[in-house]
Structure 1
């Protein structure tokens, strides 16, 4: 993309602005900066946790000599809600079902305890739910959900996401097929992770 846009510099000499979509839990300190809380979806780059993700991208852009400024750091659901709201101001919710899953919605600012004292001109604020980590005793879990969680690199974390997101659906079905096949006959090769997909 940047190659097509030449060197990233504007013909008017104005620095181009970049919106950075980052689909992981972040603690925002402004619209253009935020610290990575933790990785999800199987990513594990420990030295990045606790660092300002937008600042890291800005340093990389500067190092490459690209005259671009990270003007916004947004979650994919927030980006989807922004686009929906741009096209239809009645849009109040966005949901992503992809490798992971998440939702966000518009809430009245006075109903958000963390925002007390913050000024907004609209009277509302986007709430990023990060619902992938939702756990509840009221949420039914199958034996396959429990086994998938136990076998994952982040057990007891991101439970709801493991039940519904694309990254995990194949593994969940694999556990189901394994249990069904073992019930029907004793094929030891089916104990090998991902065996069904590679044979």
Structure 2
């Protein structure tokens, strides 16, 4: 009789295994690379995930939840003006990328490029995450409209979408150049242009 899955091992898959995919790319690593990093036999992977694609769905969700846990409060900090919150949130994301010298990119963007045509489940999960991200930004923009800091006629959902699209492009360029210049341009040029 097989042993039930161990929650601690599952957590390692969703952290260490996720980091392995982030570093090597989804197509650049196999199940063996993931299980070796986690420190479990290769066959045990399938005790936790039906497929490598199912694993991708779970790690991209875990990745976003880790961002929300570390930085989500920046967007909800009532004592700070809403547009400042948005600026601080994107700066915090860029600081995360700087810790790895801008070499990894965003797992959301990376998996979008690698899997959106190959895994419908992953594409849908990433799409849902991006919508959650945009909704959080739109909430701040709405608050900024209410306090007179943001043009009341602007479409907050559209601006939030453009912010995410522009930032993901900056992160991709930063990964390509292995430099933070594109993320700094986003903060110094794009944000001020959009948050008026």
Q: Does TM, scored on the shorter chain, surpass 0.5? A: no
Larger radius of gyration: 1
What TM bracket, shorter-length normalisation? under 0.3
TM-score by length of 1: 0.27
The answer to which structure has the higher strand fraction is: 1
Give the structure, 1 or 2, with the largest relative contact order (CA under 8 Å, sep 6 or more): 2
TM-score by length of 2: 0.27
The answer to which structure has the higher helix fraction is: 2
